[in-house]
Structure 1
Amino acid sequence: MLLESNMKATKKKLIRITTVPISLDKLLEGQLKFMTTYFDVTAISGDDKYLKKIALREEVNYFEIEMTRKITPLKDLIAVWKLYWFLKSNKPDILHSHTPKAGIIGMVAARLAGVPVRLHTVAGLPLMEAVGIRRKILDVVERLTYQCASFVYPNSKGLKDIIVKSKYTSEDKLKVILNGSSNGIDTHHFNSEQFDSNEKEKLKVKLGILPDEFVYIFVGRLVKDKGIVELVEAFVNLHMKFHKVKLLLVGPFEQELDPLPESTLDSIQQHPNIITMGYQKEVRPFFAISDILVFPSYREGFPNVVMQAGAMGLPAIVSDINGCNEIVEEGSNGTIIPVKNEKAIKNAMEKMLLDKEYFSNLKQKARSSIVSRYEQKAVWEAILAEYNTHF
């Protein structure tokens, strides 16, 4: 089903497609509405009810195509066929895909349908953790996605380097927009000044956080790839030495896709100083009551969470992976540690707790480092400029 469009017939048609609607919702919030000033915009994803809600908010058309996040050849072919006929009927000028499965389906269908401008944003490479035959399949899919695209936008410099090194496509087909990121950050919205001391105190009391406790926060999916196993182990060991600390975990478990071991789940559920909040649509209050972000992910594209935390005035402990090691500048707005290293996480957490001057200096620069490099409106304008170069 399509929402009625109030766009003028003279506007060119732009399609934005993601595998699941939450990516449109969280990774591109506000950007689709911004583009409606210049294009007749259609959002494509699965889950008709959720997709419709996003389309209404962003004031765009929508079309539902169910896609999976797993290797499902038959379902993927059906999705390609359905998208192909939609594109043949609607004749868009640009199709811009995000997320791996929407990338391959979108780029193949758009090329077959003769869409003139086919753009794909790479915001991460899940295949980096794959091995064996699965890795070989995903490598082929990645190359085919880029082959069918007119242009590919890695959303970090490190991601671009990985793509070139892996020989997925030629370097002249790649471009990082501004300093990276797919959507930038609304630094007015993500601002600790939006929350007064009374609000923060009430939330701390509700969660059982004492006034003199130091709060580490993680925001994201609670899965192995995000470094949760190492983070939980590091915190448990830290707490044995320092009792006035809390670990706040904000995000959903995904046991069906990337399960945590039972031992980690037991620690999360039973440890008195680990607080789990599950998925939260509004994460700002939790940043507002925390002292520092700990984000030991194994792989990322360009993590919004690190930018959000920085805009809220939080320094960050991040793993040395692309995206994270571009947002965080060592010793300026945070610290960078080795990947999959529980000891390094614990040591960094301990240093933040004990070295007050060091922590204070990082905190002082955290927000300004984000505002100066990743303001959302500048990213939107740069993406619009990219679209216009094709006409």
Structure 2
Amino acid sequence: MRALRRLAHRVRPQVFHLFTLKCVLYGSLAAPRGEVQTIGAVTGMGHLFTTRSWRTWLLKTPVLIALRRAIKRSRTQLVFQNDADRDEFVAYKIVDNEHTAVIRGSGVDCERFKPRPGRRSQSHVKLLFCGRLIAEKGIREYLAATARLRKSGRTFESQIAGAPYPGNPSSLSDAEVEKLQSEGSHIFLGQHEDMAALFADSDIVVLPTYREGTPKALLEAAASGCIIVTTDIPGCHGIADPGVNGHLVPPKKIAPIVVALAKILDATPQERQRMGAESRRIAVERFSDREVNAKTLTLYRQPAQTPPPS
């Protein structure tokens, strides 16, 4: 906190733009009161809001209290990636509705993320899971669903881009990852740097996440022409249109993922190409970074609000 305050004093920024919930908390407490426009981007609700256990229950109340005080202190304007997350924060009385905005995702660079002409095979279908290897991202459901598909006789290649996250109690352990690698059913890529090339080389991207703001990985996958299978949650609505460029499935369920993937695997190559082209169209029309950047710059131009007395 002291380091953040020293930095703000030295730089004297016009805008404090804070990304992710933890940074919103710390940054709102450190921001100079009434001197800068403070914007907090809530990109997702995180483990605290998606997991029900006695540990998270004990931690949640003090975090909510701290968030209320921090946001009131600096008059932080919160930017959410979907209406459901915004409504939950308002219901918790963390922020007033008039101090919020909804911008769907961080946008996607449709020039960098794009299909590779002539790349996709007619028969060799590549599946990709990309995300942290934690329960909330749906990694366990993905592993179970692909195992059932193989047992049914369907053939495909499965790649997993991501790494365990020891800071989260629901993370896959290193031992679990090593066991899966030794079984040879999946190609583990770990933390992958060149996602544009990886998406361009994939046919179906699967993210059975429990809760999201608006997952950037799915926006990049759609822009790359990948078919999308993800969960029927507010953060993923509009990225996958059921039957058009993919399927939406209930969170925490394995069987619907199996059914959705089976439909795509059993489709003709021409039908899969059509669905991939629809993904590209959706990314360009709904989630281009140009539109998102313009909305964000509008927030930057708003005058800083004077916080109430402590």
- Name the TM tier (shorter chain): 0.7 to 0.9
The share of aligned pairs that are identical, in percent, is 24
Rounded to whole Å, the distance in 2 between the matches of 1:367 and 1:351 is 20
Matched with 1:152 is: 78
Q: CA deviation at 1:138?
A: 2.7
The count of aligned residue pairs is: 296
Residues 55-91 of structure 1: per-residue CA shift (max 9 Å, x gap):
xxxxxxxxxxxxxxxxxxxxxxxxx122223323433
* Residue 390, structure 1, aligned to residue 295, structure 2: no
SS of corresponding position for 2:108? coil
SS of corresponding position for 2:209? coil
Matched with 1:137 is: 62
Matched with 2:39 is: 119
Q: CA deviation at 1:359?
A: 4.1
* Residue 315, structure 1, aligned to residue 227, structure 2: yes
Rounded to whole Å, the distance in 1 between the matches of 2:82 and 2:38 is 20
Rounded to whole Å, the distance in 2 between the matches of 1:340 and 1:164 is 26
Q: CA deviation at 1:365?
A: 0.8
Bigger RCO (CA 8 Å, 6+ sep): 2
Matches within 5 A, 1:1-391: 80-112=1-33, 114-126=34-46, 127-130=48-51, 131-148=56-73, 149-177=75-103, 180-182=104-106, 184-193=107-116, 197=119, 212-257=123-168, 258-260=170-172, 265=177, 268-356=180-268, 359-390=272-303
TM-score normalised by the chain length of structure 1? 0.69
Q: Cα 1:351–1:264, aligned 2, differ >3 Å: closer, same or farther?
A: farther
Rounded to whole Å, the distance in 2 between the matches of 1:225 and 1:300 is 9
Q: CA deviation at 1:220?
A: 1.5
Q: Cα 1:353–1:293, aligned 2, differ >3 Å: closer, same or farther?
A: same
Residues 247-273 of structure 1: per-residue CA shift (max 9 Å, x gap):
110122223434226895366223333
Q: Partner amino acid for 1:250?
A: A
Rounded to whole Å, the distance in 2 between the matches of 1:264 and 1:332 is 35
Q: CA deviation at 1:123?
A: 0.5
Q: CA deviation at 1:132?
A: 1.8
**Kept after mapping to 2: 8 A contact 1:250/1:280:** yes
Q: Cα 1:236–1:255, aligned 2, differ >3 Å: closer, same or farther?
A: farther
Rounded to whole Å, the distance in 2 between the matches of 1:328 and 1:145 is 36
Rounded to whole Å, the distance in 2 between the matches of 1:311 and 1:374 is 9
Unmatched runs of 5 consecutive residues or more in structure 1: 1-79, 202-210
Unmatched runs of 5 consecutive residues or more in structure 2: 305-310
Matched with 1:5 is: none
Rounded to whole Å, the distance in 1 between the matches of 2:244 and 2:71 is 36
Q: CA deviation at 1:361?
A: 4.2
